Structure 1
Amino acid sequence: MKVTLKGIKDRDAFDKAGIALPDYDVARVQATSRNNPVWLHFGAGNIFRGYIASLQHDLLSSRSQTSGIITLSTHDGAEVDRVLSPHDRLALETTVLRDGTLNLRVTAAIANSYKLNGSSPADEYDVRALAPRPSIQMISYTITEKGYVIRDIKGNFLPEIKKDIESGPVAPCHTVSWTAALLWERWQAGAAPVAMVSFDNCSENGNLLRDAVLTIAREWESRGFVNQAFIRYLSDEDSVTFPNTMIDRITPYPDRDIAARLTAMGIEDMEVYTSKKGAHMAPFVNMEKSRYLVIEDKFPNGRPQLEKVGVLFTTARGVQLFERMKVSACLNPLQTALALYGCIFGYEHISDAMNDRQLINLIRRLGYEECLRVVDSPMIVTPREYLNEIFKERLTNRALPDTPARIATDTSQKIRMRFGYTISAYQKRGYALTSLVALPLALAGWLRYLMAIDDNGHTMKISDDPMLSELSRRMSEIIFTRPDSVERTLRPLLSNETVFGQNLYEAGIGQTVENLFKEMITGPGAVRATLIRYMG
């Protein structure tokens, strides 16, 4: 069996293997998408192919939609060259159940794909022609949290952003710059309305996208590349909106063991790739069954009827409440704490860390006792019900091949929302920060992880992070087994408001984190001893 347009014509083979196939005319959908595009999307990674594109596939299957999604890549183009094109943009959706069963289906919602990374001028020309089409209702994103970062920790524009600002909308490189350029094309062609929708797992993602795009556009306006009328178009919610969203589906990197299982079933070309820039990809996407997507309902040009396939549309406040429940209390802080300590203890999978008594105690206290105390209910599901599902169904799914290393990626970009909100909420509600134990342990665990030495005293690999070089340099100044070398190094970091949202020393928790960290560097086994001391 081959996951290609030609391959899926052998329906009997796929049926015998229990693999569902598209029940609509894929060629017609692709043609309709070219002539009357509805949805453009930046990024073609795992969460997009396994969840977002899956939703449009469901609408196509129910005949509620006739057009698919066109993907745009500003990265290295590996997703297009290695995954999408060889498989005619089909994806093998692999849902991993707790008993190890794989629910499989082929989806075909991706109608076309273009590379906007300088390697294909023809693609760039075509996309600039597509962007003004009045039929386009939304342009969306799964580019990770760091995709919206346009300044460094000192407030200076990143080198690629500076280059884009100086060159104008003619030759952008960064995704945010391309976004501003395509909106400029749209404005020039008649200023048709459109929604710009981030699906990335970061706080107020729509606001982040809007602020970044407007910053680029205003820099261009100051240099004469665009005019004030264009800035007004971007700022007018009757024309361009940036809805906030909250997405939740654990989608690990594609797993080689699952690839082997698929190959053993007779499915060809299921290799797992790692691109030159470190992206992990495969023609299949392995993911959990649970899924949530909440979207602020602001679409000035209409939208696909995603509510028919389980998407929840609400107000900005509704999205904010669900996001804070997930990102700041019930899931992401727990995942981060598990991942950091899981790396330090050498665990291969998150589910392995869930067999560790001290780590279970850590995240139970963090979730049920410390974070839950200050989280408001989004009403869609209560925080306690959501947290119960996390412990009973999701983090304990041993069949789901999620790794501590994946979750530890880009922690510097996540830690402000995953822990900083709870600290602020305690202050606002008059709760004593001295009552927090698991949260400062999680922060101290991040610092200990950054030393790149596991609890046995051996060197370990650190996951990618935009601040990795700076953080590694700073942490290298600490002498292992010398707690007296800590203060000079940690104080500037724990005082950094960009990373934590506030100065942790002024908040009254910085010294606690520093002291816990000191306990963790007294020698091999010190991390475990510290957790036992506080978590039993």
Structure 2
Amino acid sequence: MKLTNEGIQDRASWENKGYKLPQYDREKMIEETKKNPAWIHFGAGNIFRAFQANVCEELLNKGVISTGLIVAEGYDYEIIEKYNRPSDNLSILATLKADGTVEKKVIGSIAESCILDEDNEKEIERLKEIFRAPSLQIVSFTITEKGYKTRSYMNKVVGLLLERYNAGKLPVSVVSMDNCSHNGDKLKEAVTEIAAQWISEGKCDKGFLDYINDESKMAFPLTMIDKITPRPDDTVKQMIVADGVENAEPIITSKNTYVANFVNAEETEYLVLEDKFPNGRAPYEKGGFIFTDRETVDKTERMKVCTCLNPLHTCLAIFGCLLGYTTIHDEMDDEDLKRIVTILGKDEGMKVVTDPRVLSPEEFLDAVLTKRLPNPFMPDTPQRIACDTSQKLPIRFGETIKAYRKDAKLSTDDLNVIPAVIAGYLRYLQGTDDEGNAFEQSPDPLLDELKALSPEEVLKRTDVFGVDLYEDNLADRALVIFERMQGKGNVRRELEKL
């Protein structure tokens, strides 16, 4: 079984192995998409293939849309050269469900793949052609937050937007779908900074900046995205190979990107978008996207980052490293850890949760606790989540502390898990686990600086915790717990008390 246009013509072989195949005329879809492109996405990574491409696949299957997606890669060209094009832009999505079942599906919605390489005249000319198309409605990104700070990448993107300006100031929505706060604002800031410089250098006229700032022409909506798509998993690969699919071995590119002809991902997914699309859009809400206003997107992000997911992740990351765990799902089999993250979310966090209305915080949290974190097929690690912890603590815990201090009916004295997590972080900075063995701490820009400080000095760092922990007795309580965590087995004993 070969994952190509020709290979999937043998539908019986694929369907007999449990694969869902495209239900539409893919050749016709590709032709229509190339002629009248509606959506181009930058960042040919796993989340795009597992989420956005899958939503379009569903809508194509239902006949809701007639055009698919164009994907462009501006960082690691080998993804396109070694995976997309040899597979005719087809992909296998393995959805790993919490009940242990795997849904296998061939995704055909990607009609064309492009390389954002200024040295390749043919590739750049095709991208310019796409950006000049009146039909283009969405230019989206999953390039990580640092992608917007990478000048060489953003220069090429702004050059394509200038092409659209020169084609008649055609409207378009420029959409960050990266998992970072106020992503649309960060994207707009990067674009406007480059445009302003180009105007001062005489590379374009000042009308280009007016075009960028005119929301009736160019919009930069905020979004909140949530879906876990780890690197290709060996168990999934073995399953696909056993089915008879060729070339399932993941490729590691020269830039250390893991790509394969399959993506493994969790079932749960959310994409909440500010509904600002000056050139219109297809009814993607029929595929599960949630369109709303700017304030509501903000609220969904706060709900996720401050209460229902990210604080639980950081709690498990810190104590997972201290207790020697290497997977999040194994931690959720630990009764102590499962209990404390449940208290953290359902009790301490839920009292001050921001309710966005378009999503239920209770249902979101319940899915996190019962489906997402315990999912044995999701090979996420506490060590990965512990990266950059000093940058995450202010939002994930500082905001909850602020909310407790503002509410006359609440007191930080009622918080038990949060001071224990803070104490756990101090214990983590020591670099030895609960058995007294040294472990390698995850990368963090402040790691060496904080390790050189006393625990009392660390707790004074408002940049790390987002609040003054000495304003009430949180710092003192954390220090007491930290002292009790010294010595073999005492981290575990403290968790047993919570």
Instruction: Output the TM-score relative to the length of structure 2.
Output: 0.90
Q: d(CA) in 1 for partners of 2:136 and 2:364? A: 35
Alignment of 1:53-68 (within 5 A): 53-68=53-68
Correspondences of 1:256-335 after superposition (within 5 Å): 256-335=234-313
1:356 to 1:140, Cα distance in 2 relative to 1, 3 A: same
How much has 1:449 moved relative to structure 2?
Answer: 4.3
Q: Do residues 48 (structure 1) and 12 (structure 2) align?
A: no
Report how many aligned residue pairs link the two structures: 497
Query: Mapping of 1:60-139 within 5 angstroms?
Result: 60-116=60-116, 120-139=120-139
Q: Deviation of residue 311 (structure 1)?
A: 1.8
For 1:495, the equivalent position in structure 2 comes to 462
* 1:217 equivalent in structure 2: 195
Deviation of the 1:445 alpha carbon: 4.0
1:531 alignment partner in structure 2: 495
Which AA in structure 1 matches 2:309? L
- Please, which moves more after superposition, 258-267 or 13-22? 258-267
1:255, 1:272 within 8 Å by CA — same for their partners in 2?
Answer: no
The offset of 1:259, in angstroms, is 0.9
Q: 2:414 aligns with which of 435, 450, 472?
A: 435
Partner of 2:397: 419
Asked if 1 retains the 8 angstrom alpha-carbon contact of 2:96 and 2:102, the reply is yes
CA deviation profile, 1:450-507 (whole Å, cap 9, x unmatched): 56544334444455x5xx3x424324536xxxxxx4445x367x332xx65x454476
CA distance in 2, matches of 1:412, 1:120: 41
Alignment match of 2:373 (pick from 395, 401, 425): 395
> What residue is the counterpart of 1:141 in the other structure?
141
Q: Secondary structure of the equivalent of 1:87? A: coil
The CA distance in 1 between the partners of 2:398 and 2:441, in whole Å, is 23
**Amino acid across the alignment from 1:400:** M
CA distance in 1, matches of 2:274, 2:236: 35
Of 259-268 and 431-440, the range deviating more from structure 2: 431-440
Report the equivalent of 2:483.
519
Which moves more between the two structures, 512-521 or 419-428? 512-521
SS at match of 1:92: strand
CA shift, 1:65, in A, is 1.9
Mapped contact 1:116–1:124 kept (Cα < 8 A): yes
Distance 1:232 1:428 in 2: 41
Secondary structure in 2 matching 1:246: strand
> 1:281 and 1:414 mapped to 2: Cα distance?
28
The residue type paired with residue 91 of structure 2 is A
Match of 1:3 in 2: 3
Structure 1 residues 88 and 444: alpha-carbon distance in aligned structure 2, compared to 1, 3 A threshold:
farther
**1: CA distance, partners of 2:283 / 2:173:** 14
> Which residue pairs with 2:184 in the alignment?
206
Do 1:451 and 1:475's aligned partners in 2 also have CA atoms closer than 8 Å? no
How far 1:330 sits from its partner (Å)? 0.9
Shift of 1:106: 0.1
Please state whether the residue corresponding to 1:40 is helix, strand or coil. strand
Match of 1:250 among 220, 225, 228: 228
Q: Secondary structure at the match of 1:2?
A: coil
Given residue 144 of structure 1, which amino acid in structure 2 is its aligned partner? Answer: T
Q: Secondary structure at the match of 1:320?
A: helix
When residues 397 and 224 of structure 1 are mapped into structure 2, their CA distance, relative to the original with a 3 A threshold, is: same
Partner of 2:446 in structure 1?
A: 471
CA shift in 2, pair 1:4/1:419, >3 Å: farther
Alpha-carbon deviation of 1:191? Answer: 1.1
1:232 maps to which of 210, 217, 231:
210
Of 317, 339, 350, 1:361 maps to 339
Counterpart for residue 158 of structure 2:
180
Distance 1:119 1:210 in 2: 26
The alignment partner of 2:400 has SS state of helix
Distance 2:45 2:367 in 1: 26
Return the offset for 1:9. Answer: 1.5
Whichever residue aligns with residue 426 of structure 1, its letter is Y
SS in 2 for 1:76: coil
Moved over 6 A (4+): none
Distance 1:140 1:405 in 2: 30
CA distance in 1, matches of 2:237, 2:104: 13
For residues 8 and 394 of structure 1, the distance between their equivalents in structure 2, rounded to whole angstroms, comes to 32
Match of 1:349 in 2: 327
Gap change, CA 1:88 and 1:407, over 3 Å in 2:
farther
Q: Does 1:375 align with 2:350?
A: no
Offset of 1:99 from its aligned partner?
3.1
Taking a change above 3 Å as real, the CA distance of residues 129 and 461 of structure 1, as seen in their structure-2 partners, is farther
Q: Which moved more, 1:362-371 or 1:515-524?
A: 515-524
Corresponding residue of 1:155: none
Does the CA-based 8 Å contact 1:194-1:301 persist in structure 2?
yes
**Is contact 1:440-1:509 (8 Å) kept?**
no
CA distance in 1, matches of 2:132, 2:369: 46
Q: Counterpart amino acid of 1:112?
A: E
- Further displaced range: 287-296 or 136-145: 287-296
C-alpha distance 213-517 of structure 1, shift in aligned 2 (>3 A): farther
How far apart are the structure 1 equivalents of 2:228 and 2:36?
33
C-alpha change, 1:109 and 1:475, in structure 2 (3 Å) is same
Shift in Å at residue 194 of structure 1? Answer: 0.6
Return the offset for 1:138: 0.5
Contact 1:146–1:413 (Cα < 8 Å) also in 2: no
Structure 2: segments with no counterpart, 5+ residues: none
Q: Deviations over 1:47-66 (max 9, x none)?
A: 11001111111122222222
CA distance in structure 2 between the aligned counterparts of 1:50 and 1:510, rounded to whole angstroms? 42
Tell me, yes or no, if the aligned pair for 1:362 and 1:438 is still in contact at 8 Å.
yes
Letter in 2 for 1:13: S
Measure, in 2, the Cα distance between the counterparts of 1:434 and 1:146.
38
- Bigger mean CA deviation after superposition, 112-121 or 318-327: 112-121
What letter corresponds to residue 64 of structure 1 in structure 2?
V
**Displacement, 1:315?**
1.5
User: How far is 1:447 from its partner?
Assistant: 5.4
Long gaps (5+) in structure 1: 151-160, 165-172, 479-484
